[in-house]
Amino acid sequence: MDVAGLAQIKSDSPPHATAQALAGGTWLMSEPTAAKPTWIDLAGRGWDDVTDDGKHLALGAMISLSALPDHLARWPEASRLARAALAATAASSKVLCQATLGGNLGLALPFGVMNPLMTLWEARIEVQRGTGISPRHLAATALQTGDQTTALAADELVRRVHLAPDSMRGRGAVQHLRLNAASPPTLSVWVWQTDAAPERVRVVVSAGTPSPQTVLARSADEAAAGLSGIPFLTDNLGPAEYRRGILPVLLRRAWAQLESART
């Protein structure tokens, strides 16, 4: 734990330029805190609420990542994909029990798993603004704007994620390229085919890109063409050109995995 720069913890105010939200703390407590020395503790706000009225599912920002597959139980394929996504993170089960949905979305790491999953399922993000201001909503695809950057203003927080049954009924697959079993993915490709519109598959590329990139496609080749202009990262996990070159391979593998899930 690195909390040397921490000045104070509050619970009742919105975040701002020098104060950031404390959710599960799995990232905040492992990083230097000097840039934002005040933490706004979200525990105790009741933000681990889950509403399922049969028409849509709303997941509070403070649910733990490890609980997500169970909350998706009425869509077994979505639940299975969420479980597979969590199993492939670099986080231990201890971290996953503590880490939250909102923290993962708000942290917006390129190799984070919640922004691509929620983009895949076309979730809507409910954003809590300053005190007394009504919430706003945005498409999941619009939340993460880059490597650890989001569309949230300094006083805004992810409050809930809304999922619609038509987007969740279907089947999916994910393919990762990793340097070794312990490293985060160099590139990830996610695909999701709904029962409602099976002819078009939602494709999301993450990890090797600053933010999730998405396209609808009928084949791996069509997806590769649609994604040909996306930006790739160059970092210690690989150069951009390598990631660009490997994308069609992961797309074909993901499509094959999807086909085998259908049979």
Ligand X SMILES: Cc1cc2nc3c(=O)[nH]c(=O)nc-3n(C[C@H](O)[C@H](O)[C@H](O)COP(=O)(O)OP(=O)(O)OC[C@H]3O[C@@H](n4cnc5c(N)ncnc54)[C@H](O)[C@@H]3O)c2cc1C
CA 192 to chain centre: 15
For residue 93, what are its two tokens?
């089960």
Query: Is there binding between residue 90 and ligand X (CB under 6 A)?
Result: yes
Nearest approach in angstroms of CB 223 to ligand X is: 23
Beta-sheet strand order (sheet of 187-194): 170-177, 187-194, 201-206, 213-217
Nearer to ligand X, 34 or 90 (CB): 90
Could you say which of 59, 69, 111, 243 contacts ligand X (CB under 6 A)?
111
Residue with tokens 């074909």: 252
Angle at 141 between CA 147 and CA 233, to 5 degrees: 30
Residue choice 106, 116, 208, 210 for contact with ligand X (CB under 6 A): 106
By the rule CB under 6 A, 174 interacts with ligand X: no
The CB density around residue 31, as the number of other CB atoms within 10 Å, is 12
The answer to the question of residue 117 lying near ligand X (CB under 6 A) is no
Residue nearest to ligand X (CB): 106
Q: Is 121 in the site for ligand X (CB under 6 A)?
A: no
> Is 1 exposed, middle or buried (CB count within 10 Å of its CB: 0-12, 13-18, 19+)?
exposed
Range list of H helices, the chain:
68-71, 76-87, 93-98, 101-107, 114-120, 165-168, 220-226, 240-262
Q: Is 212 in the site for ligand X (CB under 6 A)?
A: no
Per rule CB under 6 A, is residue 107 in the interface with ligand X? yes
Least spacing, CB of residue 19 vs ligand X, in Å: 9
Q: Which is nearer to ligand X, 160 or 171 (CB)?
A: 160
Least distance from ligand X to the Cβ atom of residue 87, Å:
11
> Could you say which of 57, 99, 123, 189 contacts ligand X (CB under 6 A)?
99
Residue 122 or 126 having the CB closest to ligand X:
126
Binding mask 9-48 for ligand X (x = CB under 6 A): -----------xxxxxxxxx-x-----------x------
Task: Determine the Cα–Cα distance for residues 170 and 164; give it in Å rounded to an integer.
Answer: 12
The residues in 131-160 that bind ligand X, with binding defined as CB under 6 A, are 152, 157-158
Sequence-ordered list of residues with C-beta below 8 angstroms from that of 132, at least 6 positions apart, any chain: none
User: CA–CA separation, 38 vs 196, rounded Å?
Assistant: 46
Q: List residues near ligand X by CB under 6 A.
A: 20-28, 30, 42, 61, 65, 89-91, 95, 99-100, 102-104, 106-107, 109, 111-113, 152, 157-158, 184
